[in-house]
């Protein structure tokens, strides 16, 4: 069975500061890993995905994530936060190309002036 742990249910950063959202996974087989963003009262939008092609994955809106097998981590980063980044972020794992996604509990990102 697979699982995801997101450390920190709420993260607050200043505009222009580094964004770091943490995700650790557990999987018995090589995983597919995803980061999704959810704005209030909306669905989920895919930010980026890890598919074993490269350990550093670049996504939309300036976000990137690094897959570290030794640490079973897939942390999301952005060098400079923008007010529009305020949203809820979910890390997810799956174990095959056609199967359920298992989500973490989410991290709410607040961006302050």
Residues near another protein, by CB under 8 A:
32, 34, 36, 41-46, 49, 51, 90, 94, 96-106
- Kindly state the smallest distance separating residue 33's Cβ from another protein, in Å: 10
Nearest CB to another protein, comparing residues 61 and 80: 61
**Helix and strand totals (H; E) in the chain:** 0, 12
- Kindly state the smallest distance separating residue 87's Cβ from another protein, in Å: 14
Determine how many CB atoms are found less than 10 A away from the CB of residue 19: 19
Distance CA 29, CA 48 (A): 20
- Kindly state the smallest distance separating residue 65's Cβ from another protein, in Å: 14
CA-derived radius of gyration, the chain: 13
């Amino acid at each position: 069975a697979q699982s995801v742990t997101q450390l920190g249910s709420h993260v607050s950063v200043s505009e222009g500061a580094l964004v770091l959202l943490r995700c650790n996974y557990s999987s018995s087989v090589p995983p597919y890993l995803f980061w999704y963003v959810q704005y209030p009262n909306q669905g989920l939008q895919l930010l980026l995905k890890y598919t074993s092609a490269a350990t550093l994955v670049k996504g939309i809106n300036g976000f990137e994530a690094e897959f570290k097998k030794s640490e079973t981590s897939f942390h999301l980063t952005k060098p400079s936060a923008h007010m529009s980044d305020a949203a809820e972020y979910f890390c997810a794992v799956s174990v095959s190309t056609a199967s359920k996604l298992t989500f973490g509990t989410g991290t709410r990102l607040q961006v302050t002036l």
